Structure 1
Amino acid sequence: MKKILKWVGLGVLILGALWAAAFFVKSNGKSAIEYETHNPFISSIEKKTVATGKVIPEDEVEIKPQISGIIDKIYLEEGVTVKAGDLIAVIKVVPNEQALNQANGRVRNAELALNNAKIEYDRNKTLFDKGVISSQDFNNLALTYNQAQQEVKNARADYQIIRRGSAGGSSSANTNIRATVDGTILEIPVEEGDQVIQSNNFNDGTTIASIADLSKMIFEGKVDEGEVGKLEVGMPLEISLGAISDKKFDANLKFIAPKGVEEAGAVQFKIEGDVKVDESVMIRAGYSANASLILEKKDSILVIPEALLQFDKSTNKPYVEIATGEQQFERRDIEIGISDGVNVEIVSGLEKDDKVKQWNKTEPIKKGLEEDEEEDSEETAE
């Protein structure tokens, strides 16, 4: 029994030694890793930033009433194109009882003064015709009579304005709410029956409608303080709208805010740009938009793919490895410039003929190891 166990143990050791030898030979028989190389090339780089915001009309006018009252009738709807002077709505006046009573009393007083002036005028006219009084005295009485007539007209007009909102139902009556500019009605925030307040020195008044020219739009957005210093008025913008994904719009930067606003721990600066509207596309006010700005651009410069760069752990300076022979490389420190996230500018350290090592070779190595492990497991099972 002992002899059998001895021979079994010896057999196991021999098989183990053979397997180890086979694995060692196979491992050393693998081909060496071959690194690809890339040459620097001449290209252009644009460094861009994106500002988020929205597209709004350049000028938006709010129509407010000149008299308080109740909306009696609305004639137009939102989205309708209007001309200056078009009737939008009519207000029904609800007069103040005290003001109405005072206006009525003024009319009665003016009528009494007119009756008295007429009596004096008629009596003195007879005397003037007979030559009893002078021409100057009669002219003074005629002036008083004419002023009394005008006062009655004024008092009655004021009474009608307080009672109805207009003196005679003319097209310029305060109760008629009309468009003051050409454009499109963006919003009518009131309904028939709503009470409105007139615009005055102490109150902005109730907005009955807002009108804007949708052919004149601007982009309004914000940029970070780290990039605002590179912007200049007049720079070109490329506007993309969330609602119109298949079309870009050109614009020019026209305003950069002199003061920033802190948002979520970062200082943001407001910018505006004139958008060149295509007449074939309907742009609605308030569309969300992104503006692409070119912060820096260089043409015909030496570049390499940014993926070829490595950075020294101690100095954080960039370097690459250059081929010196067949799969032989040496380190070379370089100086880089601007980058667009894909390619990076080479300021110094490389020439067009240099062959730069590509680093991303980890996946093929892992794949080879997995295949070897599978083969080894199969051999063990056998």
Structure 2
Amino acid sequence: MKKVLLGVFILIFLGLSGWLGYYFYNKANTDPVVYKTEAPFETEIVKKTVATGAIVPRKEVEIKSQVSGIVEELYVEAGELVKKGQLLAKIRIVPNMVSVNNAETQLQTARLNFEEAGRELKRYEQLYADRVIPEQEFRKYKADFNLKREALSAAESNLQLVREGSSRKRGQQQSNQVYSTIDGMLLDVPVKVGTSIIERNNFNEGTTIASVADMRSLIFEGKIDESEVGKLKENMDLLLTIGAIEGRVFNAKLEFIAPKGVDEEGSIKFPIRARVLLDEKDFIRAGYSANADIVLDKRDKALAIKESMLKFEKEQPYVEVETAPQRFEKRKIKTGISDGINIEVVSGLQKNEKVKVPEAGTVQI
């Protein structure tokens, strides 16, 4: 039994001796590790946040009809430029029979009153000519006659308006014709010839005949997370990237930050608005989705290193600086802004010094 145990012990000893010999042999013949270094460099660092939204006109209006009826003529189509007061459409009135009946009754009453006032005026004209009544009394009947005549004219115009939507009075804009209220571009004409429409009144918004907007004055409307809104200030620069327009970045100026946020899928978002700065040749369609890079801070010629080269000790950043070939020392540094890739070095490091790249970037020779 003792011989068996002694044999096992000897085998284990020989095995360990062989393994240690192999380990030290490999270590003696392994190439030394050479750490890669990089020098600080000057670059532009932009710290920014991103807001999503869309490009919309600052001034957009919906043109509606003042009367109900059927679209009889359309003189424009979407995409055209229009001027304020330009005729857009003509509406064929479908008269309301109750309104027509009331207007006809008022006209008949006004005509009877006018005829009676005419007869009275003729009688008092003769009396005035015979000096039976004074001029003051005669003028009273003449004034009444003129009032009755104006009432008859108003009743005739009212009946015509109810039936046709227009009046014969000179200088009066026809209510069955729809005009543009601003200069701009027609974004949409949602109705067609033959479409029934409802008038705009106190109880109804009415049917939209056309949407007109000033496409030279565009704004970006978006939302930003509550964690970033405290960093924003008015007049900050924005860089707009529009998905439908590749290879272009548009400038904008932040002009409004909402004082109240809105709940959006469990997170609070704050609406923002920015003025889009366009060149004369630029044309952007309304409704394009866009992303806005909001510049929070910027350094034009900052001494920087890659942020991945930083190490931390008790929240204090430091780097390993090469003091001699492949010899390094820890050095605390003060950092500034970062763009997620490069970080500004405020103090603690010179441009001509070399910094050790972390072990993930080591090479062997």
Shorter-chain TM band:
0.7 to 0.9
CA contact (8 A) 1:118 1:145 kept: yes
Q: How does 1:360-371 map to 2 (within 5 A)?
A: 360-361=359-360
**How far off is 1:354 after superposition?**
4.1
- Please identify, of 98-107 and 322-331, the stretch whose mean Cα deviation from structure 2 is larger: 322-331
CA contact (8 A) 1:49 1:293 kept: yes
Between 1 and 2, higher relative CO (CA 8 Å, sep ≥ 6) is seen in 2
**How far off is 1:182 after superposition?**
0.7
Q: How does 1:202-351 map to 2 (within 5 A)?
A: 202-312=203-313, 315=314, 317-351=316-350
- Please identify, of 338-347 and 81-90, the stretch whose mean Cα deviation from structure 2 is larger: 338-347
* Residue equivalent to 1:107: 107
RMSD over aligned CA atoms reads: 2.6
CA contact (8 A) 2:305 2:343 kept: yes
Cα gap change, 1:202 to 1:85, in 2 (>3 Å): same
TM-score between both structures, scaled by the size of structure 1: 0.83
**How far off is 1:162 after superposition?**
0.9
Cα gap change, 1:319 to 1:19, in 2 (>3 Å): closer
For 2:222, what is the secondary structure of its paired residue?
strand
Distance 2:24 2:116 in 1: 135
CA contact (8 A) 1:332 1:349 kept: yes
For 2:232, what is the secondary structure of its paired residue?
coil
The amino acid across from 2:357 in the alignment is: Q
Distance 1:352 1:277 in 2: 40
For 2:298, what is the secondary structure of its paired residue?
strand
- Please identify, of 261-270 and 331-340, the stretch whose mean Cα deviation from structure 2 is larger: 331-340
Distance 2:148 2:126 in 1: 20
For 1:157, what is the secondary structure of its paired residue?
helix
Distance 2:264 2:139 in 1: 77
**How far off is 1:26 after superposition?**
5.4
Cα gap change, 1:19 to 1:146, in 2 (>3 Å): closer
User: For each residue in 1:79-113, what CA deviation from the matched residue of structure 2 results, as whole angstroms up to 9, or x when unmatched?
Assistant: 01111111111111112111111110111111111
Distance 2:234 2:23 in 1: 70
User: For each residue in 1:25-63, what CA deviation from the matched residue of structure 2 results, as whole angstroms up to 9, or x when unmatched?
Assistant: 456312111001223344442211122211111100110
Q: How does 1:1-382 map to 2 (within 5 A)?
A: 25=25, 28-168=28-168, 172-312=173-313, 315=314, 317-361=316-360
Cα gap change, 1:275 to 1:158, in 2 (>3 Å): same
TM-score between both structures, scaled by the size of structure 2: 0.87
- Please identify, of 91-100 and 303-312, the stretch whose mean Cα deviation from structure 2 is larger: 303-312
For 1:208, what is the secondary structure of its paired residue?
strand
- Please identify, of 193-202 and 280-289, the stretch whose mean Cα deviation from structure 2 is larger: 193-202
Distance 1:279 1:264 in 2: 40
User: For each residue in 1:164-219, what CA deviation from the matched residue of structure 2 results, as whole angstroms up to 9, or x when unmatched?
Assistant: 11112877101000111111000111222222222222222211111011111111
For 1:341, what is the secondary structure of its paired residue?
coil
**How far off is 1:298 after superposition?**
3.4
Distance 1:363 1:35 in 2: 5
CA contact (8 A) 2:55 2:220 kept: yes
User: For each residue in 1:203-259, what CA deviation from the matched residue of structure 2 results, as whole angstroms up to 9, or x when unmatched?
Assistant: 222111110111111111111222211211111222222222122222211111111
The amino acid across from 2:135 in the alignment is: S
The amino acid across from 1:56 in the alignment is: V
Cα gap change, 1:261 to 1:145, in 2 (>3 Å): same
Gaps of 5+ in 2: 1-16
**How far off is 1:348 after superposition?**
4.7
CA contact (8 A) 2:242 2:291 kept: yes
**How far off is 1:324 after superposition?**
4.2
The amino acid across from 2:113 in the alignment is: A
Cα gap change, 1:299 to 1:247, in 2 (>3 Å): closer
CA contact (8 A) 1:233 1:255 kept: yes
CA contact (8 A) 2:65 2:198 kept: yes
User: For each residue in 1:302-334, what CA deviation from the matched residue of structure 2 results, as whole angstroms up to 9, or x when unmatched?
Assistant: 42211212345xx45533333344423344444
CA contact (8 A) 1:35 1:361 kept: no
Cα gap change, 1:249 to 1:188, in 2 (>3 Å): same
